Structure 1
Amino acid sequence: MKHRFLFCVVILLLGNFWSYAQHKVAVTVYGVQSNAGNVCFAVYKTADNFLKDDSVYISGKEKASMGKVDFSINNLPEGKYAIAIFHDENNNEKLDTNLLGIPKEKVAFSNAKMRTFGPPKFDDCAFSVNSYTEIRIEIN
């Protein structure tokens, strides 16, 4: 009887663990212009915090490699996300902009491109994660 109870508890705990499964997103960034600096990324969860520095869900960087850069974002719970990327060629860990706020460094977004008058909206960039996901991003 005692063993059966412990077995049930373990099954319930594992069920809770599996219901909060974490997923991997494999990202390939194409069009990297040089080996200089890093390709920096930021992952956002909602439209309200999209492109706000203090509201990044996950961020990171990978060494730039001319042509393409591959990296993975691990342990993402199921949900809707958007990714913003920039090629930080001068390696100062910030997106350099001109006086009008227009990026001086190459930028890109998941599923969307820069618009004529500013960045795309969260919903334009968003993708769903509910299993292993591959994203291809073209940097301009």
Structure 2
Amino acid sequence: MIHKNFLLLFFFLVISNVINAQHSLSLNIDGITSEEGNICFAIYTNESSFLKFDKVFKFGSGKAVKGSTAFQITDLPDGDYAIAIFHDANGNKNLDTNILGIPKEQIAFSKGKMKMFGPPKFEECVFTLNSNMEMKISLQ
């Protein structure tokens, strides 16, 4: 009986770990042109929240390092994600744009690129995370 209960407990522990799998993403950002300000990233999980600062799934920032900067993002469950990154060179915690809405600061996305008339869509930037992953993104 004890042996049976132990096997049942072990089975539930294994299943719960599979269901609640958490992964890490090593994010390497290159093309940083100066050490001024910070590199900021935002992770989105769906199209309706994409590029909305009040609907970010996870975000972070770190001191800009000329050349490249790296982030280790942890506790990400299996799923589809899109990432937006910008170099907040003046440290005002905003992506500065000109009068036409064109970014004045360097930006990048997990896959898609800026278009002539605006940013890429969520589906152009989305990637699937189901294990630990490393991603390299170049600022534009």
Q: TM-score, normalised by structure 1?
A: 0.92
SS at match of 2:48: helix
| RMSD of aligned alpha carbons | 1.4
Structure 2 CA distance for aligned equivalents of residues 127 and 3 of structure 1: 43
Residue type of the alignment partner of 2:116: T
Corresponding residue of 2:30:
30
SS in 2 for 1:28: strand
Q: CA deviation at 1:139?
A: 0.3
- Are 2:118 and 1:114 aligned? no
Counterpart for residue 95 of structure 2 = 95
| Partner-residue secondary structure (3-state), 1:95 | coil
Whole-angstrom distance in 1 between the partners of 2:41 and 2:133? 16
Q: Which amino acid aligns with 1:41?
A: F
Single out whichever of 45-54 and 99-108 deviates more from structure 2. Answer: 99-108
Question: Which residue of structure 2 lines up, in the alignment, with residue 67 of structure 1?
Answer: 67
The secondary structure found in structure 2 opposite 1:47 is: coil
Q: Distance in 2 between matches of 1:9 and 1:28?
A: 40
Q: Deviations over 1:29-82 (max 9, x none)?
A: 110001111100000001111101111000000211001111111111111100
Letter aligned with residue 118 of structure 1: G
* Distance in 1 separating the partners of 2:91 and 2:7: 53
Q: In structure 2, how many angstroms separate the alpha carbons of the residues matched to 1:59 and 1:66?
A: 21
90-99 or 112-121, which deviates more: 90-99
The Cα of 1:11 is off from its aligned counterpart by 3.2
Q: Distance in 2 between matches of 1:132 and 1:88?
A: 27
Give the equivalent residue in structure 1 for 2:16: 16
Aligned position for 1:44: 44
Query: Residue 19 of structure 1: CA displacement?
Result: 2.0
The offset of 1:134, in angstroms, is: 1.4
Aligned length: 140
One-letter amino acid of the counterpart of residue 129, structure 2: V
Larger mean CA deviation between 114-123 and 8-17 belongs to 8-17
Larger deviation, residues 32-41 vs 90-99: 90-99
The one-letter amino acid paired with 2:55 is S
Structure 2 residue runs of 5 or longer lacking an equivalent are: none
Report SS of the residue matched to 2:99: coil
